[in-house]
Every structure is written in structure tokens, then in C-alpha cells.
Structure 1
Amino acid sequence: MSNFLNQVHILQWDDHRYYHQSRINQTLHLISALSFLVAYVFLFVDPAISGLIGWGLGMATRQSGHIFFEPRAFDEINGVSDAHKEAIKIGFNMQRKAILIGVWLSLPLTLWFSPSLFGWIEPATNLTGFWHDTGISWLALAIAGIGFRTVHLFFLRNPLVGLAWATKILLDPIHNVAIYWRSPFALLKGEMLDPIH
């Protein structure tokens, strides 16, 4: 058990120091984390709303922080290139994220042009039904994405690493609130990059 918890901690630390140096990105991750916590609650109330909150607000703010604000040049703090960080990232690096974002954005379009999802579901008859189906499809994408990468890591690394990564992903909202709640205040003071020690 200590090996497992240590692996989760290593993944959290590597993710923070390599991919969350921008205070804007950290602030967006704080917003994202809070929205994911709300989405977690809605899993038990209305899973479709959970999917809409998780992807529509949580993932949109989270990934915009990475895409637009996180430095992609040589990492002076850690002494590594961006290419090196991308190569060792065991979860979703920028290339894998691009594929995931492409699928995410294609799902509402697919449902718009084929409300029955090519005969797999009962077609929505109004806008409320369309958004319900979109939320469920986004939730299914999240489960499939985490599940696929976890099993993939079983074979690439080992089951311990795969399960530690999945646990890290599920705990990210709590962890992000705990470490990034000060980021908006640092940003207001003009600190654009976290002096990670």
C-alpha cells in the first residue's frame, strides 16, 4: 500500500512541477477542480449534468490553461526540454489530449446530425434531450478515456502504475484545490510563474 500511495504522490508532484508553473494555469485548474467536485456530486443526482459540468466547464478551463498559458519552452526550473516532458508523461500528453479533445468536440456534432447515434440510442426530440445525450456521451468518454489509459498502462508499465495514475486523476480536483487555492492571490500580486521549489 505504501508503494501505491508513493506512486500517486510522485505522479502528483511530477504533474505539478512539469505542467503547472503558470499562475494563470493554476487558477484555471482551481476553477476546474471546483467544477469537477460539483460534477462528482451530480453523478449521484443527474449523470448527464455531471458530464456537462465536467467537460463543459471543468475540462474547458483545465485544458485552456495548458494550451494557452503554460510555458512550452525549455523548463528552466526542472532543467528539461518540453519534448522530454512530453515523452515521459504517462497520462495524457499534449498529443493524446488533442485526440481526446477532438473526440469530445465531435460528440455533440455527431448527436446533432445523428440524434440516434447511428441507431444506438433513443433519439432526442428536443434541445433538452440533445443536451442530456451530450452530457451522457461526455461522461461515457471520460470513463472510457480513463479506463483505456489505465489498462494501457498495465501493459506499458505495470498494474500498480496504471491504478496509481487512475487514482491520481480521480483525486486531482481535491489535490488541485489544496495546492492552487493561493494561485489567484499570487496572480493578483503580479506573480506569473510559480517559483516551484
Structure 2
Amino acid sequence: MNAFMETLRTLRWDDHRYYHHNRINQALHLVSALSFLVAYAWLLVDPVVSALIAWLVSMMTRQAGHFFFEPKSYDHVNQATHEHKEDIKVGYNLFRKMVLMTLWAAVPVLLLISPDVFGTIEPHADWNGYARDVGAAWLFIGVGGLLFRTVHLFFIQDVRTGLAWMTKIITDPFNDVVLYHKAPLHLLRGELIDPAYYGQRG
């Protein structure tokens, strides 16, 4: 258990210090985390609505922060190029995220072109049914993407790393609220880059 928790702490620390320097990115992660918590609660009420919240709000804000605001130049503090950080990324690096987001974007288009997905599902009868079909597909992609990378890590690294990464992803919304709840305030003060990541790991 100690080894598992240490692996989890390392994954969280590496993710923060490598990929969360920009305060806008941090603020967007706060929005993402809060909406993910709403989506988690909604899982108990309606998983399809939960998936719609998670993808339309949580994932959009989260990935926008990474794609558009996070610096991709040489990281002098961590002495690493962006390419090196992408190579050693345990979870979904930007390329893998692009593949995942492409699948996400393709779902609504596919359901418009073929409401029954080539005879595999009952076709929707109205826009509400369309939205629920999209949400159900997005729920499948979200769970599938999590499980696929977890099992993949079992083989390319080890079972502990895979399980620790899965735990990190599931608990990220709680951790991000703790880490980034002051990001909007820092932005209002004109601070664009977080100076805290210059510190040593606690």
C-alpha cells in the first residue's frame, strides 16, 4: 500500500509540475473539477446526463487549458523539453488526447448520419433521444478510454502504475479543487504563471 500511495503521489506531482504552470489552465481545471463533481453526483441519478456534463463542460474546459494556454516551450525549471514530457507522460499526452477528442467529436456526427449506427442500436425519434444517444456513447468512450489505458499500463509498465493512474484520474477532480481553488484570484491579480511549481516537492 505504501508503494501504491507513493506511485500515486509521484503521478500527481509530475502532472502538476509538468503540465499546470499557467493560471488560466489552472482556473479552467477548477471549473472542470467542479463540473466533474456534479457529473459524479449525477451518475447516481442519470449516467447519460452525467456523461453529457462531463464531456461538454468538464472535458472541454480541461483540455482547452492544456491545448491553448499551457506553455510548450522548454521547461527550464524541470529541465525538460515539451517533447520529452510528452514522451514520458504516463497517461494521455496531447497526441493521445487528440485521438480521444476526435472520437468524442465524431459521435454526434455519426449519430446524425446514421441514427441507428448501421443497425446496431434503436434509432432516436427526436432531439432528446439524439442527445441521450450521444451521452450514452460518450459514457462508453470515457469508461473505455480509462480502462484501455489502465490495462495498457499493466503491460508497458506494471499493474501498480496502471491502478495508481486510474485512481489519479478518478480522484483528480477532488485534488484539483484543492490545488487550483485560488487560481481565479491569482489571475485577477495579474499573475499568469504559477511561481509555486518552482518549489521543491513536499
Q: Shift of residue 117 of structure 1?
A: 1.6
> Which residue matches 1:47?
47
- The alignment's TM-score, normalised by the length of structure 2, stands at 0.96
> Which residue matches 2:154?
154
> Which residue matches 2:61?
61
Structure 1 unaligned segments of length 5 or more: list them: none
Q: Shift of residue 160 of structure 1?
A: 0.4
In 2, Cα distance between the equivalents of 1:125 and 1:87? 45
> Which residue matches 1:134?
134
Count, aligned residues: 197
> Which residue matches 1:93?
93
Structure 2 unaligned segments of length 5 or more: list them: none
Q: Amino acid of the residue matched to residue 192 of structure 2? A: M
In 1, Cα distance between the equivalents of 2:88 and 2:59? 22
Q: Shift of residue 79 of structure 1?
A: 1.4
Q: Shift of residue 74 of structure 1?
A: 0.3
Q: Shift of residue 120 of structure 1?
A: 1.6
Q: Shift of residue 110 of structure 1?
A: 0.6
In 1, Cα distance between the equivalents of 2:18 and 2:181? 19
Q: Shift of residue 76 of structure 1?
A: 1.8
In 1, Cα distance between the equivalents of 2:21 and 2:96? 21
> Which residue matches 1:19?
19
In 1, Cα distance between the equivalents of 2:177 and 2:117? 37
Deviations 1:54-112 (A, max 9, x none): 00000000000001000000012211110110000010001101100100000111111
In 1, Cα distance between the equivalents of 2:47 and 2:130? 14
Q: Amino acid of the residue matched to residue 22 of structure 2? A: S
Deviations 1:106-149 (A, max 9, x none): 01111111111222211111000000011111011000000000
Q: Amino acid of the residue matched to residue 29 of structure 1? A: H
- The alignment's TM-score, normalised by the length of structure 1, stands at 0.99
Q: Secondary structure at the match of 1:6?
A: helix
Q: Amino acid of the residue matched to residue 57 of structure 1? A: V
Tell me how large the CA RMSD over aligned residues is. 0.6
Runs of 4+ with deviation above 4 angstroms: none
In 1, Cα distance between the equivalents of 2:63 and 2:171? 17
Identity %: 50
